[in-house]
Chain A
Amino acid sequence: MENCTEKSINDIEKIISEKLEQNASFGDKIVSKIYEKAEQIANDVVKINDTRKINWDKKLDDILTSRITGYPIMLLMLCLIFWITIQGANYPSALLANLLFGLEEKISSLFVFLNSPEWLHGILVLGIYRTLAWVVSVMLPPMAIFFPLFTLLEDLGYLPRVAFNLDNMFRKSGTHGKQALTMSMGFGCNAAGIIACRIIDSPRERLIAIITNNFVPCNGRFPTLIAIAMIFIGVFISKEYSSLAASLAVVLIVLIGIYFTLLISKLLSKTVLKGIPSSFTLELPPYRKPQIGKVIVRSIFDRTLFVLGRAILIAAPAGAITWIVANTTIGDVSILNHVAGFLNPFAKLMGLDGFILMAFILGLPANEIVLPILIMSYLSKGAMLEFESIDSLRQLLVNNGWTWVTGLNVMLFSLLHFPCGTTLLTIKKETNSIKWTVFTFVLTTSIAVLVTFAVNTIATLLGWV
């Protein structure tokens, strides 16, 4: 039966290929006929009596995709989103931190009251609870503002216009126009962005989109970028402009990410992944008034809580491990300090320090926990602080020798470094190749090292550090 089936199918294949050789336009005829019928029915049932004086869609597109205003508006929009996020997150962040760290004291006294051993209190409260408190108070407010805003733009129909405006650059980089869409998914989560690359048919272009997706900062990295921009870039400018300066810094980082996406895409399509871009069409749908209520609900449930949940899941054990490593000593020095000391000379070349580099390495499972781990490690060195506001975080970093160049390099490293564990697994799954997974890891990390090294060297030569 099996063979018989195969044989019959092969027979049919033969008949058809013979017929198609004689007359190749069958396909065209079928498609045209269906469209003809559609046109006939539509003409029969549709009456148009358009009395609108102004076509708002057209007017909006005239502005949003114009040669003169198209690009500036895109930048302005991006900047505005970050500005609202940073400005709006400030207060609730401080409030949450106060609440959660106030609670920590209460829990600590409970542990003392119960006479629990020092190490148990250390792991549970100073390790796990404190890390979680950081994750929640630093990440939740920006996400709860950023995601709904981004979803609003998505709902409005602005994203296809962005792809329309930028397509020329992607074409010149030898990549597919849909890459712009997979990148905007990457803003949410790089793993999701990489899965979204399935919409690109050409294997070559799909691989390029997968490899470079990591240069779009995901929401696991946005809180880090925003926090550092807020406490580090912002504070060096006078108070009134600090949020603005911080948003500009984040926009700049995003632009650098896009620049590297295009650059690396081009390099790849000129070298290991040679080829010409395949065909591409993009619909510019009518603008639609977003449903604000639903957008907020959906983006909080689907995105904010999802990402926060994942962060908490990974941050809890990481917090415990960090505390243990920081409080277990070999000789006179903790393991943490040993490792950080070992990494320090190399990290210094990149304008970072051993603790920062270690936090990035420990943050491999999820980028969300890099900052909390870093804070934990600095704190474990004994510099206990009252956490009243974001200012105390700045104080902690400054006490540990941070300058604005450190801040910039941390942001750049975060933008360009190796993808998180989930993303790497996704790359492995989607490309079905360990080779391309390792390639991505090595490529991104080398770029991160090179760029931060260059920035630090220039800053040092110019005497900024």
Chain B
Amino acid sequence: MAYKIVEKRQLVPDVHLMNIEAPDVAAAAKPGQFIILRIDEEGERIPLTIADYDVDEGFVTIIFQEMGKTTKQLAKMAAGDELQDFVGPLGKASEIEKIGTVVLVGGGVGIAPVYPQARAYREIGNKVISIIGARNESLLILEDEMNAVSDELLVATDDGSKGHHGFVTDLVKELLDGDEKIDRIVAIGPPIMMRAVAGVTDPYDVETIVSLNPIMVDGTGMCGGCRVNIGGETKFACVDGPEFNAKDVDFNLLMSRLSLYRKEEMESLETYKKGCGDDCKCQ
């Protein structure tokens, strides 16, 4: 099978958006779900969240950050190129219902998966307050898009180059301490950020949902590589999640399991760079 890249754009340095032609996936996709792609015969299967989808045009949007071999190789591909595999939609869809006021927190590339959720919450009549954050202003993605689907948009940057000087967690805490009743918080971003949000909301008794990103292979419940510990129970993030209640998540286990292949990932990237030259323009 081949899945065509119909559009490709760099959003900020090292973060790219791609629209992939996959009409059946687009037709079934819902916020909160993800896909798994493989670039070529030798490729690794990597999971990426569905950032958007267009049923009429038949494409799915992914937004990814260059991390290692596969995402760097993907970043070099252009509109018109084809991916070998694109499986989805995988995982459970977010439970988006009318509950009142929802706070959506996106950190870094985690803003991408938050976006379709914000839109969906808003569409059915919730009040949506979004908090997005990045290291600095030049790394902030989807600000306009988020603005368009939020009643209120708050921005935090680590260096203060835009919005609040500090972490998204500071803004979450301010909201929780404020007058407005918050009915749910959804936080997606690096595990360290989700753990921090979980820590902040814990004393407040506000339902807090996070989307977990363990290493996956098949994404269908067949390998168990994606297992996470939720309230003392082992779950497979690809079929039981990826979203879970933040207070139940064992973030230390998640983070440690994510580092399992660090040595091999370096080796893979080095081999790739050697074969290609990091600045080459080959596909």
Q: Do A and B bind each other?
A: no
Which B residues are closer than 8 A to A by beta carbons?
Answer: none
